[in-house]
Amino acid sequence: MHLSPAARRRCPQLAPTYTVSGSFELEARPEFLDGKPFALPAGLRLIVRPGEFLPGSWNVSNLEPTPCVSGHQVEELSLTLPPGRDITSLPGGKTVENRYLSYHSDWTQAGRVVTARREIAVKVPVAVCRERVRATLSDAIAQIRGDYRSELALKPLVQ
């Protein structure tokens, strides 16, 4: 996540950029092995996901004023496929752009590792988004939320 100069002045204890990484294992989910579609797990939720914080809250109505922050954030999640399984297809990436933000996601596969990368850059002229700014951002937020519901499905590996 990259903080704007104004955000750094308000939060001087934060570094201009930082990286959080981690690793975890999922419990056995036999239905996924049988091909049931699933969204990529959210990972270690230490911070909010790209699009949940910078352009304003996902949890208030579309036109209600909400704090919003300029900044840049990248999330990269990788899933190692279980032995003997592949995916049916990669989800398509998504690009959402407007006057105040740019969001892009893409999916890649290298061997048994599937990776989703999501990046958002927000440049808002105010600290509280209202009216037109909020309406413009809420349209983008809806599209970004939809992107987080992209699903994978497993299939037996053909050898």
Which residue stretches of the chain have pLDDT < 50?
1
DSSP strand pairing (113-122 vs 101-110):
antiparallel
Do residues 147 and 118 lie in contact, with contact meaning Cβ atoms separated by under 8 Å?
yes
CB under 8 Å to 46, separation ≥6 — which residues? Answer: 20, 22
Q: What is the pTM of this model?
A: 0.77
Going from the C-alpha of 133 to that of each of 50, 58, 142, 145, 148, the distances in angstroms are 18, 14, 14, 18, 23
Rounded-to-integer distance, Cα 51 and Cα 144, Å: 7
Per-residue model confidence (pLDDT) at position 52: 63
Domain residue ranges in the chain: 2-15+30-154
Per-residue model confidence (pLDDT) at position 1: 47
Choosing among 1.10.10.10, 2.60.120.1130, 1.10.3210.10, 2.60.40.10, the CATH entry for 2-15+30-154 is: 2.60.120.1130
The single residue listed with the structure tokens 């999330």 is 75
Per-residue model confidence (pLDDT) at position 12: 53
